[in-house]
Structures are given as C-alpha cells and as structure tokens.
C-alpha cells in the first residue's frame, strides 16, 4: 500500500515551462539520439530523471550568495567562505575546489594510483571506474553479497564485506594506494553504508597503513539512513552524523552537484597538510589555482551555503520520502526494483522486468527506450552497457551482476504529482512488457574503458 506523503517543504516562486512531445516527435528524437538517452535533447523530454547531478534547484539564499562572489584568481574571499563551511559541516581543515566530481577523481587517482595498482571499494560508479582504468589500475568490489539481491530488504546494502576487504589487502598489500567507499552506493541501487561499517573499514585501513577516502557525493542522504536505521544514532542530528562519517576518513572526493545542492562544482577535502600538498600540483595542471579549482567565486559562495542546507532534516526527510513514494507506487503496480528504495533514485531491476531479453543485449537500455516512448520520461540504463568489461587475457565479456534502470530524482525540482505520472507510465510499460521483443547492438562506442554508455550509438534488432 502506498504511504501518504508530506507536501513539499518549499514554495515555488519561479516556473520553467515544459511540454510533452507527441509520439511522432519522441520516435524521431530516439532515432537522432541513436537510441542513447544521453543523446536526447532537453526540449524532447517532459520529466528528466537521467541524473540527480547538477539538476536540482538552488535556494533563494544560494542565489543571493552568487552576488557575493569574489573572482580573484588567488586567495578569493569566496574560497575562505567555502573553507569555513567545510570545517563547520565536515570537519576537514583542507579543501581543494574542482569544477565537478570527476575532476576530483582525476586529481586523486591521477596522483595516487599507478599502473598495476588495486583499489578496493564497496562498488565504484562509472566515472570512478573509468579514472582507475585510465591509470592502468583495477577497481575491486568488496561489497556485501546482499547488494546483489534486488529483493533483499537488508538496511545497509552498501556496506563493505570486511573479510573480502582484508583478503584483497593481504593478497595485494604492496599495490593498494587507497581504499574508497561510496556513500550511498550508487552502482548498487543508492543503498547506504552504516556508520559502524565505515568505522570498521577505517580501522582496517589504519591497520595496514592505507589512506581511506569516501566518495561522499550523497553523504547527507547516507547520514539520514543511518539516523533512521542504526538505532545508536536515532537521536543524533543529521549534522552530527555527517561529521561522524567524515571522521572515519582521511579524505573525501565530492561531486557537489548532488547533496551539496549546486549546479556545478566538486571538491576534495583532506585531513593532513601532507596529503593536501601531494594533490595540489595536479589541481593546478588540470583545474586552476588551489583556491578556485575551475570554479567562479560565485560558485564557491553557493556551495558554501549548499553544504549547510543539505543538513536540513525537514528537507532530507521529504527527499527520502519522495523517492520511497515512487517506489511504493511502482511496487503496487508489480514493477520489480531494488529494495529498499534508495536515497536518490529508484533502480528498476531490468533483468526481472524483461527476463526474455539476454543481458548482452542490454535490457536496461531497452527499458530506457520504452519508458521514453511511453511518456517522454528520461532515465538511464546501468547494466551491461555501462559496466561490462572484457577479460584482457581471454577477451571474454564479463557481465555485471546487476542490470538496473535508474530513475534519479532531482533535488527540490519535481512535485509529487510528477512522480505519480512517472509511476503510471512505467506501470503501463510493465503491462505490455511481453510485447517488447527486441534487443540492442552497439554500432559505435569510444575506445576508452568505462565510458562506453555515455557516447554509444545503439541499434535495435528483433529477437
């Protein structure tokens, strides 16, 4: 049964007109996009759930902060506004701005990782994996087994399996430059990591003297799940839990386009001056000077405000409830998805949705096409197209354990009635799922490992 949902904890004072393109327009748009959701133009989309990255709405306080931007090349006042917010909210003494999250990844992995290295994770997301591959290293999943069971309602399916992690460390102890844990675990359905598990990983990293980083783009959502599901912290504030999470890590990589509520920006935060100065040269080579890192001063000001706003418990309660609301509507319609509902998105189990489509023919991406056809809604497939890899020795294609279709909910952007429309249209596709009798072939993909799905040209064929 679908739970009642609270109304939005904000008022709408500006509107962006959108329209639903007709059926013929949608079909033409798919052809022009080579059946890849990344190729669609925004004008061809009614509800865009491709990503929650940079697509949210800023508050009036953030827009006001833009006017305070100091655009000095070095030592801008806006940098110190960010530095103070980072210290207050996250507890780190050192912050390096970057233009977005993957730029922060470029700095961390490009500096610390070399060819032949092994980087243990719970589960890395697409650009994270790509940066590791690009440096000649290999990411290794150490997530708990429950992560691969979409029907399991285990509360912390993003947790690291500590025994797996220690086995990887012992087998590769001279080739591990860092350990990284993604909170929440995007690749596994937006599932959280418990604070206890983060403390255990931190202790393991200290035991073997390995730096421990968080991919902390969705740290506030993760903290909210800790508050709701980890009894010891039920009375803690969201701000207190976020800071406790940060205390487990030596550093963090952040796409600030997620929980920190800005449309552009990223950052690295670290605890020691030594790590700070180790990372700075690559920042200057690829991003900009240490105090702006590819961002305008006005962006730094908006980010400083956003870091504080992400700790607002009423806002976060609504956000998590809105994602859960979409999940409950889909469940009522029989649609299979990763349980429990994630923090930023609903991840439909495309393998269960289309069991007659072999995974090597990309059922998650077929589903993305059919949902767009049905209602001009854009989500994204996160299965074989995004995560399959080739064995270097045998050339054999290694398929991922999950074949998911993600509906990422933009922050403070869509109303509950928008999500009701999304649920109705997806349920309509589910009712006709047996009539979908085609797969997809890749006509073109870039040669860079880990980013095929961004630029691939796809071609439908009948099964």
Backbone angles phi, psi at 87, to 5 degrees: -65, -45
Active-site pick, 73, 74, 208, 356: 73
Question: Cα(326)–Cα(329) distance, rounded to whole angstroms?
Answer: 5
Active site residue 339: no
Active site residue 414: no
CA 298, 73, 266, 264 dihedral sign is positive
Active-site pick, 44, 141, 161, 215: 215
Q: Which residues pair with 441 in a beta bridge?
A: 459
Question: Cα(115)–Cα(375) distance, rounded to whole angstroms?
Answer: 45
Active site residue 93: no
- What's the N-to-C CA distance of the chain in angstroms? 36
Active-site pick, 83, 318, 452, 453: 453
Active site residue 401: no
Active site residue 217: yes
Contact 218, 187 (CB under 8 A): no
Active-site pick, 83, 157, 258, 344: 258
Active-site pick, 46, 94, 125, 276: 125
Task: Return the number of other C-beta atoms located less than 10 Å from residue 357's C-beta.
Answer: 24
Task: Return the number of other C-beta atoms located less than 10 Å from residue 130's C-beta.
Answer: 21
Residues in the chain, overall count: 463
Measure CA 128 to chain center: 10
Active site residue 73: yes
Active site residue 277: no
Helix-strand-coil split of the chain, %, nearest 5: 45, 15, 40
Active-site pick, 44, 70, 126, 141: 126
3-class SS of residue 138 = strand
Active-site pick, 217, 304, 384, 456: 217
The residues annotated as belonging to the active site are: 73, 125-126, 215, 217, 258, 453
């Amino acid at each position: 049964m679908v739970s009642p949902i609270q109304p939005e904890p904000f008022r709408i004072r500006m509107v962006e007109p959108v329209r639903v393109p007709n059926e013929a327009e949608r079909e033409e748009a798919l052809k022009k996009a080579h059946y890849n959701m990344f190729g669609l133009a925004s004008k061809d989309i009614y509800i865009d759930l491709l990503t929650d990255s940079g697509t949210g709405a800023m508050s009036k306080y953030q827009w006001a902060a833009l006017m305070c931007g100091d655009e000095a090349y070095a030592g801008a006042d806006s940098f110190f506004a960010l530095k103070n917010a980072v210290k207050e909210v996250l507890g780190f003494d050192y912050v390096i701005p970057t233009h977005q999250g993957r730029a922060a990844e470029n700095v961390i992995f490009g500096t610390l990782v070399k060819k032949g290295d092994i980087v243990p994770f719970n589960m890395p997301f697409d650009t994270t994996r790509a940066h590791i591959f690009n440096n000649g290293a290999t990411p290794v999943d150490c997530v708990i087994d429950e992560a691969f069971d979409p029907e399991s309602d285990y509360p912390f399916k993003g947790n690291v399996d500590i025994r797996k992690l220690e086995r990887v460390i012992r087998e590769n102890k001279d080739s591990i430059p860092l350990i990284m844990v993604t909170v929440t675990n995007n690749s596994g359905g937006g599932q959280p990591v418990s604070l206890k598990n983060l403390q255990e990983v931190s202790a393991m990293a200290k035991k073997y003297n390995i730096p421990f980083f968080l991919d902390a783009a969705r740290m506030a959502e993760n903290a909210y799940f800790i508050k709701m599901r980890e009894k010891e912290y039920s009375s803690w504030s969201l701000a207190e839990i976020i800071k406790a999470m940060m205390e487990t890590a030596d550093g963090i990589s952040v796409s600030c386009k997620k929980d920190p509520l800005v449309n552009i920006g990223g950052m690295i935060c670290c605890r020691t001056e030594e790590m700070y100065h180790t990372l700075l040269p690559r920042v200057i080579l690829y991003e900009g000077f240490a105090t702006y890192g590819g961002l305008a001063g006005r962006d730094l000001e908006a980010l400083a405000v956003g870091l504080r706003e992400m700790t607002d418990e009423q806002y976060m309660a609504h956000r998590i409830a809105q994602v859960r609301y979409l999940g409950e509507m889909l469940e009522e319609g029989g649609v299979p998805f990763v349980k429990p509902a994630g923090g930023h998105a609903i991840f439909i189990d495309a393998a269960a949705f289309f069991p007659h489509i072999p995974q090597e023919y990309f059922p998650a991406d077929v589903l993305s096409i059919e949902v767009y056809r049905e209602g001009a809604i854009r989500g994204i497939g996160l299965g074989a197209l995004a995560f399959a890899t080739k064995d270097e020795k045998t050339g054999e294609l290694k398929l991922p354990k999950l074949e998911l279709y993600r509906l990422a909910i933009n922050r403070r952007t869509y109303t509950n009635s928008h999500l009701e429309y999304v649920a109705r249209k997806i349920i309509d596709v589910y009712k006709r799922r047996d009539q979908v009798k085609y797969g997809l072939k890749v006509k073109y993909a870039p040669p860079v490992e880990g980013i095929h799905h961004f630029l691939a040209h796809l071609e439908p064929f009948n099964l």
